[in-house]
Structures are given as C-alpha cells and as structure tokens.
Amino acid sequence: MAASAPASWAAMAALRPAPPPPTTITSCSCIPVLATERGAFIVTYGEGASNRTRTGPWPIERDGHGPDPGRSSATVTDRADHCGDERGTGRDPVGVEAWDADPTLYPAAAERPAMTDAPAVTPLCVGSLAMDGSVLVAGEAGVEVEAPSLVFLVEAERTVLVDTGFGDPDLMDDLHPGFDCRREPGQDLESALDGEGYAPSDVDTVVLSHLDWDHCYTLDSFEDAEILVSRRELEYAISPYPMHAVRYDAKSLGREPPWLTVDLTAIEGETEVCEGVTVFPTPGHTVGHQSVAVETGEGTTVVAVDAVPTFRNLEGTDDAPFVRGLAMDEFDWWHSAREVAERGDRILPGHEWGVVEAGPERTL
C-alpha cells in the first residue's frame, strides 16, 4: 500500500521550528539524554532506511529528578546491533462504513496456512476496552466504542510477541475507571498463546510498541525473553508530563509501571530482531512509539499498533490521506502514518476488530 503526500506536505513540515543546538545531560542514573536549551531532547536514529532526526518538546529533567529505575529490580541495557491496496475487513469501531472484505488478507486462525520458511504474523485478541471514538479517530468525539486489545505473534527465526495487553481487568478498573476493560474466558495472554501452540517460555523476544498502560502488562511472564523498548519512549515514560502520567501509570501517581521491575533492552532507530523482522520508529501517538515490519511470503506486513490504530485512520481524502488518532505530536504522527502506509503491503492496526476472527456483539 502506498500513499502520496498532499500538496500541503512541504508547508506543514516547514511549520516545525529548527531546534537550538543540543547539549548532553543525564536525566536518570542509567540513561544519557540529549537535550536542547529548551529541554526538548533530540534522538538521532540509526543508519537504516529510517535514518533521520526527530525532536520532541518533552523535557526529561525539570525541577528535580525523575523516578530512578535503578531503585527497582529493573535493568536497562543498550542493544548494539542497530541496524509500502487491499484493506481489511470487519466491524468499524466508530460507526462509519467499513471497507469491503478481503478474507485472504486476514484469515481466521483455523484457515491460516501452516508456517513456511517465511515469517508469519498472527493477531491475537486479549480483551477489549471502551473509549471515546476520538481516541482512535479524530472527529468521532461523543461516540463511545469498544475496541479490541491486540497483541501480535510473529513466527520467524525467533518467536516474537509485539505487546502484551492490559493487566487484570479488576485492577484496570481501579487504575483506569471508565475504560470498562473486559477479558472473556480464553482471552488471557497465556491462553491466547496456547491457542497457537506456544507458552510464554517459548517467546524469545517481546517488542513493546510503546508504554501506554494497555500495551505492556504481564511482562513478568516472559522472564526468559529479551524485551525491547524504544529508548526515547522509556526516557519519557520514566518521568512524563503530568498530563500523560495516567497513560504511563507513572510513579508520580504512586503507581508502579508494569515495565519497571523487568529487564529491558533499550533500542534506537531501525533494529533487526532477526532475519525478516525489523522494528522501526513511528513516533506521534507517543514520544517513542515503534512498529514492526515483517517480511512474509506475501510481502511486507507492518504491525502498526497505535501508529495506525484502526483502518479508518487510513481512509482520508486526496489532500489529507490520513485521519489522526490520539497523538502527543501531530506532525510526528503524520510522518509515521505515511511511512506505515508506504512500507506495508498489509497493515495491522492496534485496535481494529477487522484483523481478528470475531468482534463484539455491539458497539458501545
């Protein structure tokens, strides 16, 4: 799938001010950070196809020191090996017309072919949560929807899991009231993996797309796996602005983020997990969101997650081909949605019923 930039693209990009020269600071005991005089940090990504510099107006250190991961049992390590029209089907989560079905792109589990030498990707539903439609698609405010919580099993040289979903629904109701987190029997992560013939101990690598609370619980089940997270996302999640603290279950709220007590591997830029499986930056929804490109036997599948949370986000106009979801940075979101659309022959959003076998009986 490819999407061309609108005529106003250059004008939009030109609106971004040039940052002042960077200076090096240390925000926490284990993480070196580049920061400008304004406090906005700059990260230069690796030498792959997505080599570029992005900026974000999110200071890491301000009026004191952020929560120190060195005070928990977690450790953070660096990974040294840094390294583009058929659309899906099913229930549209915000009450607008869904795209026509192409069941060959998103077969049900029982219909999927046996694994070949090429990597394969399987979306798994591990629950659902309610939210205002504008969280997924701008302009849908006031429409309450039920969205799936999805994780993605990648079968390749390594067994890779993208995201781990939200935590126990009762705990989520306490921490995040109003989202009505639900998990039917058999939708817990261990059961979902078991349905594909895997146990948590079989997973070699967990890729965290970002650290929003609904994507990163149950990590302690993967004690033998390497857990990859964007360095930029981790730096911000340690001490986010107050307006984002709830999203990260931040220490400033007296909570313990689920990722704080497990060993993490911080990565930057495009990172090859194994042959045919590459993590690449897609910031915008959060500071350090990342997606996964998988070279399958049928082309490139991009596990977009919340870079493109639903298919509706790709159903814009000729002048504006993408419809924004919730974004910390709208410019970065636009760049990332464009890259996902250009890079993927098949796109797997993070909250789209069309990529799993069954949706809810009703849209809330």
- What per-residue confidence (pLDDT) applies to 84? 30
pTM reported for the whole predicted model: 0.70
User: What 3-state class would DSSP assign to 109?
Assistant: helix
- What residues have CB less than 8 Å from 80, skipping those under 6 apart? none
pLDDT score of 7 more than 70: no
Name the DSSP class of 165: B
Query: Hunting for tokens 């313990």 — which residue is that?
Result: 256
pLDDT single digits (tens) 257-295 = 999 999 999 999 999 999 999 999 999 999 999 999 999
Lowest model confidence (mean pLDDT) among 70-79, 176-185, 237-246, 353-362: 70-79
Q: Where are the domains of the chain?
A: 9-64+75-355
- What per-residue confidence (pLDDT) applies to 360? 55
What band does 358 get if pLDDT is binned at 50, 70 and 90?
low
What band does 85 get if pLDDT is binned at 50, 70 and 90?
very low
pLDDT single digits (tens) 127-177 = 999 988 878 888 777 888 889 999 999 999 999 999 999 999 999 999 999
What band does 70 get if pLDDT is binned at 50, 70 and 90?
very low
Residues 238-246 have a mean pLDDT of 95
Q: Which two tokens stand for residue 24?
A: 């090096």
More confident residue, 95 or 139: 139
pLDDT score of 86 more than 80: no
pLDDT score of 22 more than 60: no
pLDDT single digits (tens) 163-214 = 999 999 999 999 999 899 999 999 999 999 999 999 999 999 999 999 999 9
Judged by phi (left if over 0) then psi (alpha if -120 to 50, else beta), residue 172 lies in alpha
CATH number of the domain located at residue range(s) 9-64+75-355 in this protein: 3.60.15.10
- What per-residue confidence (pLDDT) applies to 314? 86
pLDDT score of 356 more than 70: yes
Adjacent-strand bridge partners of 241 = none
Report the percentage of the chain scoring pLDDT > 70.
66
User: What 3-state class would DSSP assign to 266?
Assistant: strand
Query: Hunting for tokens 């240390």 — which residue is that?
Result: 26
Q: What is the helix, strand, coil percentage profile of the chain, to 5?
A: 20, 25, 55
Closest among 166, 164, 193, 332 to 264, alpha carbons compared: 164
Average pLDDT of the chain, as a whole number: 74
Adjacent-strand bridge partners of 305 = 349
- What per-residue confidence (pLDDT) applies to 327? 84
